[in-house]
């Protein structure tokens, strides 16, 4: 009904607009007055957590892209090696797991059969298991040693939006918690990152309040048959997610690439008029990736591509290189996915709507896949 959709036309549109709240609620109550992270639900002995020397993230679909963001953040903050693997691949090789391996599963529904089976397998092999999940009391958290709930609220649209941002938020909290436990970051650093995280909901709201440019762009592209997405570092999983949203909703061929990989193959796809979204790294990125991605923009433009660049408001350097710049507010480089994802969601929603598709129930897809 219209009331359930909060006045929006579709659940997906509502859920995109729920995102400031989803991130805020996922942060809520997880810090004490002194600014120390308290993850009470994480009922694994802190000594056991300190002994963790490898993390494996297991998930499918959009949740797996949240897992890739988690890898960048946890390795950077905690110096613990993190692997991300699709649940259905994980189980059918011989993964190396021991009691010092922490398996972190990510699932909106908590019922995805592939992920459930992978978690069971990891437990049998002696791993500690943590579930990042959006559904209270669902199977995966019940079968895991501990759970860190995302508080995005029920997600109805098949294609995931607010659960994705909440998963990334929860993964950051887990990473910061492990860094706090292992003293890999100073408490002041953790406080700074948490303060920046708390500022994210307001910044998402700014993007939502300013979405007309992206909507127009999407409507103008209703006849497009292929869209590429480029990103680096934490922008890479964002590019993958942008492509997945477009496949799921608009049935358009879309692919996400690591921008550095362009020259190793995908650049051959570029010809006149090819649409390319570029998720810009922060100009403050410590690896100077910004200049490298600007070069990528020049390379694809020289071959005729149309470039739509998602960049920070303060990023003046990219302006002269892009056909269209889609601005997002500034934040620290590691937290950018919580902002850069949003215009890509709006783009996919609007393009699919322009084509007349049912965005809440895309063809051939199910919200929760409970078969292998």
Active site residues: 367
Select from 26, 112, 340, 345 the one that contacts ligand G6P (CB under 6 A): 112
The answer to whether 369 contacts ligand G6P (rule: CB under 6 A) is: yes
- Using CB under 6 A as the binding rule, the residues of this chain from 72 to 111 that contact ligand G6P are 107-109
d(CA 311, CA 279): 7
Q: Strand 306-312 vs strand 253-258: parallel, antiparallel, or unpaired?
A: unpaired
Residue showing the smallest CB distance to ligand G6P in the complex: 61
Q: Which is nearer to ligand G6P, 109 or 331 (CB)?
A: 109
d(CA 156, CA 172): 24
Smallest separation (angstroms) from ligand G6P to the CB of 131: 10
The answer to whether 348 contacts ligand G6P (rule: CB under 6 A) is: no
Q: What is the DSSP letter of 106?
A: E
Q: What is the DSSP letter of 79?
A: -
d(CA 173, CA 175): 5
Q: Identify how many contiguous H helices and E strands the chain contains and give both numbers.
A: 14, 10
d(CA 349, CA 358): 10
The answer to whether 61 contacts ligand G6P (rule: CB under 6 A) is: yes
DSSP string spanning 276-318?
EEEEPPPTT-TT-HHHHHHHHHHHHHHTT-EEEEEEETT--TT
The answer to whether 368 contacts ligand G6P (rule: CB under 6 A) is: yes
Judge contact between 104 and 70, C-beta under 8 A: yes
Per CB under 6 A, the segment of 11-19, 61-69, 286-294, 342-350 that binds ligand G6P is 61-69
Q: Which is nearer to ligand G6P, 164 or 257 (CB)?
A: 164
Select from 23, 78, 148, 159 the one that contacts ligand G6P (CB under 6 A): 159
- From residue 119 to residue 158, what is the string marking binding to ligand G6P with x (rule CB under 6 A)? ---------------------------------------x
Binding site for ligand G6P (CB under 6 A): 60-63, 107-109, 112, 115, 158-160, 365, 367-369
């Amino acid at each position: 009904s219209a009331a359930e959709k909060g006045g929006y036309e579709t659940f997906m549109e509502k859920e995109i607009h729920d995102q400031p709240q989803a991130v805020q609620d996922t942060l809520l109550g997880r810090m004490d007055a002194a600014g120390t992270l308290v993850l009470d639900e994480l009922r694994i002995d802190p000594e056991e957590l300190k002994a963790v020397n490898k993390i494996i993230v297991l998930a499918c679909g959009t949740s797996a892209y949240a897992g890739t963001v988690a890898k960048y953040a946890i390795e950077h903050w905690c110096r613990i090696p993190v692997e991300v693997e699709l649940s259905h691949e994980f189980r059918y090789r011989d993964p190396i797991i021991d009691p010092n391996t922490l398996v972190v599963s990510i699932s909106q529904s908590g019922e995805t059969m592939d992920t459930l089976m992978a978690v069971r397998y990891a437990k049998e092999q002696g791993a500690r298991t943590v579930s990042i999940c959006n559904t209270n009391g669902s199977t995966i958290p019940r079968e895991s040693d501990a759970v860190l709930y995302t508080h995005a609220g029920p997600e109805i649209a098949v294609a995931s939006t607010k659960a994705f941002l909440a998963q990334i938020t929860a993964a950051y909290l887990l990473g910061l918690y492990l860094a706090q436990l292992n003293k890999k970051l100073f408490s002041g650093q953790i406080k700074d990152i948490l303060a920046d995280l708390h500022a994210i909901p307001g910044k998402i709201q700014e993007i939502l309040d300013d979405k007309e440019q992206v909507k127009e762009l999407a409507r103008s592209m209703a006849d497009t048959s292929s869209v590429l997405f480029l990103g680096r570092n934490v922008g890479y999983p964002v590019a993958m997610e942008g492509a997945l949203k477009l496949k799921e909703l608009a049935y358009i061929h879309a692919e996400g690439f690591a921008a550095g990989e362009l020259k190793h193959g995908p650049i051959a796809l570029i010809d006149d008029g090819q649409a390319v979204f570029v998720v810009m790294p922060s100009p403050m990125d410590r690896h100077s990736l910004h200049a490298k991605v600007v070069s990528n923009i020049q390379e694809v433009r020289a071959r005729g591509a149309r470039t739509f660049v998602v960049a920070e408001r303060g990023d003046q350097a990219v302006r002269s290189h892009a056909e269209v710049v889609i601005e997002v507010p500034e934040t620290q480089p590691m937290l950018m996915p919580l902002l850069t994802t949003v215009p890509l969601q709006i783009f996919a929603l609007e393009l699919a709507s322009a084509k007349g598709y049912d965005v809440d129930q895309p063809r051939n897809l199910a919200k929760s896949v409970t078969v292998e």
